[in-house]
Structure 1
Amino acid sequence: MLPPFTVTRAAVAQIVALGGAVHIGLGSGGCCGTVYAYAVLENPAEASGAALFGCPGAWLLVAPEALDVLTGSTLDYSARIRPPRFRVLRNPRTEHVCPCRRSFGTAWPGAGSASCRSYEPMPWDAEFEPPQRWVKQTGWRRASAEGER
C-alpha cells in the first residue's frame, strides 16, 4: 500500500540504508512549535497504531497524527544538506513552516530562536557535529546512550 504522500527515491534509499523501517511521528518543539519525529525501527510491529506503508525494500510507519499532516506532501532525504536529513517538502497542510523544513505550526519567529532545530542531527547520526555557534544559541547537547537529553 502506498502512502497518501510522495516518497522520493532518495528517501526510500535512506530507509533501506537504515535497516528498512522508519517511523514518522510528531513532537513539540522547533521554531514553529511542532516537529516531525523520525525513528529507526528494528521491527515494524513496534509502532502500534501506526499506518504501515510498503516502499520498494522499505517500510514506512506513520503515526495517525503525522499521517493527517503529511497527506499531499513529499518526503525527501538529502545527504547534501547539513546535517543530512529527512525533510518534508511542499506540504499543503502546513501554513507556517520554518525555513529549514523541520518545524511547522505557528509563524516563524526569525533567525536566532533558541528553539531552532536546523542543525540538530537525525537521532541515528552520531557523526555530525553541529556548529558551536548554534549549540551555544540553543543549548543543544547530544542525546546520551540511553536516549535522554
Structure 2
Amino acid sequence: MDNDTVFPPFVVTREAIDKIVGLGGAVRVWLDGRGCCELSYEFADSKGVEGDAAFGCPGAELFVSQPALEVLTGATLDYTDRHTPRRFRVLRNPNTAQRCPCNRSFGGEWPGRQPDCSSRRPMRWDQ
C-alpha cells in the first residue's frame, strides 16, 4: 500500500483503528459459514490474500475479502473491550436484516441463546 489513505465503503471507528494498529498494523476480515445465524465475520491479524480489497494507510491496513466487502458496505466496523471476549463487531449493517445480537453472525434467523454463539469465540490473537 502506498502512503495514501484508502477509505472503505463502510465506517471504521477510532476503537477499531486503534486495535488494528495495536495488533501490528494489519487485520484481515472474511466470512465463514460457522456462525450461529449461518455466516460470521472472521478477523485475523494478518495481511490480505489475493483478491482482497485493501483500505487504510501504512500502519493501519484493513484487508477485506470480496464477499465480506459486499456485506460490509454501508455498515460500521467497531472494536470493544467492554464485552468478554473482547471483539470486533459490525454495527448498523443495512445488508444483514437477520443477525445475532452478538453482531458477528448473520444471514439466518437468530436461534436464541446458543452455547456456541459467535460472541463467545475469542478473537484469533486471544487464543
> Quick check: TM above 0.5?
yes
Q: Which has the larger radius of gyration?
A: 1
**Structure 2: how far apart are the matches of 1:55 and 1:79?**
24
Contiguous gaps of at least 5 residues in structure 1: 127-149
Question: Partner residue of 1:123?
Answer: 124
- How many angstroms does 1:99 deviate by? 0.8
**Structure 2: how far apart are the matches of 1:37 and 1:83?**
14
Moved over 4 A (4+): none
Kindly indicate whether the alpha-carbon contact (under 8 Å) linking 2:25 and 2:58 is maintained by their aligned counterparts in 1: no
**Structure 1: how far apart are the matches of 2:84 and 2:57?**
26
Kindly indicate whether the alpha-carbon contact (under 8 Å) linking 1:12 and 1:55 is maintained by their aligned counterparts in 2: no
Greater RCO structure (CA 8 Å; 6+ sep): 2
**Structure 2: how far apart are the matches of 1:87 and 1:28?**
17
Question: Partner residue of 1:26?
Answer: 31
- How many angstroms does 1:29 deviate by? 1.4
- How many angstroms does 1:55 deviate by? 4.5
Letter in 2 for 1:125: D
Contiguous gaps of at least 5 residues in structure 2: 1-5
- TM-score (ref. length: structure 2): 0.91
RMSD of the TM alignment (CA)? 1.3
Question: Partner residue of 2:3?
Answer: none
The sequence identity of aligned pairs, in percent, is: 55
- How many angstroms does 1:57 deviate by? 3.1
- TM-score (ref. length: structure 1): 0.78
